[in-house]
Chains A and B, each alone.
Chain A
Amino acid sequence: SYELTQPLSVSVALGQTARITCGGNNIGSKNVHWYQQKSGQAPVLVIYRDSNRPSGIPERFSGSNSGNTATLTISRAQAGDEADYYCQVWDSSTGVFGGGTKLTVL
């Protein structure tokens, strides 16, 4: 089965840039989606199909995908960006989530 690997935690200083990676075998050939989940809330889609932002998601959120790594980039990090972030792909009609990354804004 296909596996996605994310770092358990990432820290970023207020106003700086955070990068959260998602590793998978030839993930560059797949569409990667990213979700933000704040404590006690349902996940929210922040990036779809590698690099597209849904309506209402700030331009500070961006994504890229190449080779074996997809990356979610959060520019000018704010306190409100503290959350768990999950990457997700489809593999043989099966949804697969990464283990999640806890983002801390210092």
Chain B
Amino acid sequence: QVQLQESGPGLVKPSGTLSLTCAVSGGSISSSNWWSWVRQPPGKGLEWIGEIYHSGSTNSNPSLKSRVTISVDKSKNQFSLKLSSVTAADTAVYYCARENVTYGPEGGFDYWGQGTLVTVSS
């Protein structure tokens, strides 16, 4: 059973950089799946941030692309998110998730972390 666990600071100052890590257990990050970040502002819907493949290839939401960096550490079986120049609008629960491509590209997210709340405030 694959499990994902987000970790990182729960409070980030405005104009700073949000940094989160997602540890993968019960499976290899080098499997044929993509690994994504999704966020959810309080009381609002889901927003896809971006994804990474174990090769290092990435895709990002065009609305966030200039501020997003996603990286992978295969030796630690984890991947990370950095979001720069944050404002209060970036306050959200951040989830990491696995995109299952067993049946082809553009699969659904079959495993999710429990989510971590990141608040942007001084």
Contact = CB atoms under 8 A, between A and B. Distances in A.
Contacts, number: 68
Contacts of A35: 46, 108-109
How big is the A interface, by class? 20 to 34
26 contacts: A1-B63, A30-B106, A31-B104, A31-B107, A31-B108, A33-B108, A33-B109, A42-B113, A42-B115, A43-B46, A43-B95, A43-B109, A43-B112, A44-B112, A45-B110, A48-B100, A52-B103, A86-B45, A86-B46, A88-B46, A88-B108, A90-B106, A93-B59, A95-B38, A97-B47, A100-B45
Interface residues of B, number: 25
Interface of A: 1, 30-31, 33, 35, 37, 42-45, 47-49, 52, 54, 86, 88-90, 93-100
B62 to A, nearest CB: 7
B97 to A, nearest CB: 8
**B63, B104, B110 — most chain A CB neighbours (10 Å):** B110
Contacts of B47: 97
Contact of B106 (A1, A31, A37, A43): A31
A48 B46 contact: no
Contacts of B115: 42
A52 B105 CA distance: 15
A99 B45 contact: yes
B99 to A, nearest CB: 8
B114 interface: yes
B108 A48 contact: yes
B23 to A, nearest CB: 15
Contacts of B105: 90
Nearest to A84: B45
Given A31-B106, A49-B107, A97-B45, 9 more contacts: A31-B108, A35-B109, A43-B95, A93-B59, A95-B61, A97-B38, A97-B46, A97-B48, A100-B45
A97 B105 CA distance: 17
A52 B110 CA distance: 12
Contacts of A31: 104, 106-108
